[in-house]
Amino acid sequence: MQATDLLPPAGGDQQLIPIDITIDQEGNWFYQGQPIIRENILELFYDNLKFEADSRAFMIQWQGRRYRLQVDDSPYVITRVDRREEGGTATIELTLKHRARRETLDPATLTVGAHHVLYCRTQDGRMPTRFSRPAYYQLAQWINQDPESQEFFLELNGVRYVVGEAPEGD
């Protein structure tokens, strides 16, 4: 199966074309209800994935066309969190489902959404990204609560990052 088998030809360049590709809340991709498991196809889709914040739409932009995806939450899901210390500087590295390249957490983007789901922004801040339950618990070991303000925060390299509330729909 090739990506061209999943992305049919369509008209005008700016038209947002619905397609029968869905992504569940755990970051699993499906075409017509069947799992997409070929890593090369998933990599192609992720490399061409776009997010329109205004319409809250995820799409694949490929060969001059835009294909709208049906996404339960976010196509990006963090599956593992690791804290690294090097030269007195700490970073938190994120492993994303279906992605070979790891990301460094920008702690200023941490938010909590509905049902206490933890999010951050990845892909150079362009994409809302959901923490899986195991990744949430991995990160939670470094999150504290301020006894006075009751705010939750992550302290990293002497800076306190408050975990904010996710905007509606994030």
Domain count, the chain: 2
Q: Which domain holds residue 31?
A: 3-71
pLDDT digits (tens, 9 = 90+) for 6-18: 655 545 446 788 8
Alpha-carbon distance of 6 to 4, in angstroms, equals 5
- What are the structure tokens assigned to 133, written together? 């339950």
Q: Are 39 and 88 in the same domain?
A: no
In 3-state terms, what secondary structure has residue 157?
A: coil
Query: At 98, is the pLDDT very low, low, confident or very high (cuts 50, 70, 90)?
Result: very high
Query: Stretch 57-83: mean pLDDT, rounded?
Result: 93
Q: What is the pLDDT of residues 112-169, one digit of tens each?
A: 998 889 999 999 988 999 999 999 999 999 999 999 999 999 999 999 999 998 776 5
CATH code where residue 43 lies: 3.10.540.10
Token pair for 146: 């301020």
